[in-house]
Amino acid sequence: MTEVKREVFGQMPKEEGGGVVEKFILKSDSVKVEILSLGCIISTLETKGRDGKFSDVVLGFDTLEGYTRKHPFFGAVVGRVANRIAKGKFTVDGKEYQLFLNNGPNSLHGGAKGFDKVLWSPQVLPNGVCFFRLSPDGEEGYPGDLKVWVSYTLSDGELAINYRAQTSKTTPINLTNHAYFNLAGQGSRDIYDHTISIEADYYLPVDDTKIPTGEVAAVQGTSFDLRQPVELGKHLQQFGLDGFDHNFCLQQQQARRLVARACHPPTGRAMEVHTTQPGIQFYTGNNLDGSLKGKGAATYPKHSAFCLETQNWPDAVNKPHFPNTLLQPGEEYNHSTWLVFKTA
Q: Check if 231 is active-site.
A: no
pLDDT at position 16: 85
241 to 207, 222, 232, 303, 307: CA distances (angstroms): 16, 12, 10, 12, 17
Is 274 tagged catalytic? no
Q: Do residues 281 and 247 lie in contact, with contact meaning Cβ atoms separated by under 8 Å?
A: yes
Distance CA 303, CA 276 (A): 27
The series of mean pLDDT values per 10 residues for the chain, 344 residues long, is 97 92 98 98 97 97 96 97 97 96 93 95 98 98 98 98 98 98 98 98 96 97 98 98 97 92 98 98 97 96 98 98 97 98 94
Phi, psi of 292 (to 5 degrees): -90, 135
**Reported pTM:** 0.97
| Domain 3-343, second-level architecture | Distorted Sandwich (2.70)
- pLDDT of the residue at 20: 97
Task: Confirm or deny that 84 is annotated as ligand binding.
Answer: yes
User: Annotation-wise, does 137 bind a ligand?
Assistant: no
**Which entry of 22, 303, 309, 335 is annotated as an active-site residue?**
309
Residue pair 75/41 in contact (Cβ under 8 Å)? The answer is yes
In angstroms, the CA 245 to CA 243 distance is 7
Q: Is 156 annotated as a binding residue?
A: no
- Quote the CA–CA distance of 145 and 331 in Å, as a whole number: 13
Task: Quote the pLDDT of residue 252.
Answer: 85
pLDDT of residue 254: 83
Between strands 245-249 and 279-283, the pairing is antiparallel
Catalytic residue among 109, 140, 178, 264: 178
Q: What value does the CA radius of gyration of the chain take, rounded to a whole number of Å? A: 19
pLDDT number for residue 235: 98
Check whether 152 is labelled as a binding-site residue: no
pLDDT value at residue 95: 97
Q: For residue 29, what is the DSSP state?
A: S
Answer yes or no: is 97 a known binding residue.
Answer: no
Confirm whether residue 217 is marked as ligand binding: no
